[in-house]
């Protein structure tokens, strides 16, 4: 949900299941690295892909997020790292007469191609958005590269699971998870694989605190685990994060992480497109992300909804930089599994 909520329902916590421990073998691969470094530790270069789009949002300020971050002091402190490259920044084509959904579809197709190219080159794709509709391109690209649906940890204040028929606002950044699960405008479906891009049984939404009942019902039907703020308050974020990590890391084709900055407490991340009161503590989220990245199997990372117009003194840009810096040691050194070659 991305507009003023018409209603709010509590998502009943589903019974925690028993999941296999995190796979410590590691699933990150590329054709070249698998041939040359089979079974040996290797260094992975991180390729940042900016996606400067606010088309899917009501507040278009997120369009400036990637460029503003690229110019920030927070980025300048990262850019000299030997294994971090800013590969490119993609912009939506402004074609007169084209509907927003058509422009988003075109951008997401290009993003999917860029993500696939990064993976084929043996790089780790790190996407900086842009509103959350860009997730359609990111995870379509990953799924196409690996040849099957992937798991995904979706950290967000919202469920982002509307369809055009259920949306109260019509904002497409409130629909990307539904699209990746095969529901939505046909122009946004099947950009990677024919059918779903995500394995719903290995997809978790962590931290939502504002949604509408249609979204919750859809995700329940799909079998997606939703761990909302009430359950986090009862069980603690560490326990909830550990369960989420076990679910997504069990996906046969690896998994990804998409981090909407509005999941954080606005004090820690004021520069977001759709701020909500309260939120997740930044330190605990960063700790959880480090543990999950170290487990192996992480295909890509996406950080979205940075709105520099709302940022204060670069606080949110600094948080983005800190998250990237936290994960560098886990991403840089991987031990590829011989069985994980490109499909």
Mind telling me the catalytic residues? 132, 156, 158, 160, 173, 260, 262, 305
Distance CA 4, CA 128 (A): 26
Neighbours of 250 (CB within 10 A): 18
Tell me which residue has tokens 């919750």: 216
Distance CA 144, CA 167 (A): 28
C-alpha–C-alpha distance, residues 257 and 190, integer Å: 20
Find all residues with CB under 8 Å of 28, minimum gap 6, and list them.
44, 124, 254, 296, 297, 298, 299, 334, 336, 340
H or E element that contains 108: helix 100-120
Can you say how many angstroms the Cα of residue 34 is from the centroid of all Cα atoms in its chain?
A: 26
Place of tokens 């300048």: 76
d(CA 42, CA 37): 7
């Amino acid at each position: 949900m991305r507009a003023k909520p018409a209603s709010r329902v509590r998502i009943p916590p589903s019974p925690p299941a028993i999941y296999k421990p995190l796979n410590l073998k590691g699933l990150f691969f590329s054709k070249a690295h698998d041939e040359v470094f089979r079974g040996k530790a290797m260094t992975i270069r991180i390729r940042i892909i900016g996606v400067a789009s606010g088309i899917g949002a009501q507040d278009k300020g997120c369009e400036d997020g990637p460029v503003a971050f690229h110019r920030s002091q927070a980025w300048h402190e990262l850019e000299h790292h030997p294994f971090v490259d800013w590969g490119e920044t993609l912009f939506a084509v402004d074609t007169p007469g084209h509907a927003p959904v058509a422009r988003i579809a075109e951008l997401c197709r290009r993003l999917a191609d860029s993500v696939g190219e990064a993976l084929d080159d043996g790089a780790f794709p790190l996407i900086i958005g842009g509103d959350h509709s860009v997730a359609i391109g990111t995870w379509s690209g990953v799924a196409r590269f690996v040849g099957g649906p992937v798991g995904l940890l979706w950290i967000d204040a919202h469920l982002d699971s509307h369809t055009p028929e259920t949306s109260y606002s019509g904002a497409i950044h409130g629909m990307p998870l539904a699209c990746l699960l095969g529901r939505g405008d046909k122009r946004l479906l099947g950009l990677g694989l024919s059918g779903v891009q995500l394995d719903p049984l290995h997809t978790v939404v962590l931290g939502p605190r504002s949604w509408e009942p249609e979204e919750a019902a859809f995700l329940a039907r799909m079998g997606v685990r939703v761990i909302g703020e009430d359950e986090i308050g009862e069980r603690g974020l560490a326990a909830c994060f550990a369960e989420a990590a076990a679910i997504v890391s069990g996906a046969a084709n690896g998994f990804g992480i998409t981090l909407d900055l509005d999941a954080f407490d606005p004090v820690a991340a004021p520069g977001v497109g759709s701020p909500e009161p309260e939120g997740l503590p930044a330190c605990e989220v960063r700790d959880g992300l480090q543990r999950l990245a170290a487990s192996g199997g992480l295909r890509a990372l996406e950080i979205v909804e940075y709105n520099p117009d709302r940022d204060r003194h670069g606080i949110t840009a600094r948080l983005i930089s800190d998250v990237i810096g936290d994960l560098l040691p886990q991403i840089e050194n991987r031990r590829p599994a011989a069985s994980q070659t490109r499909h």
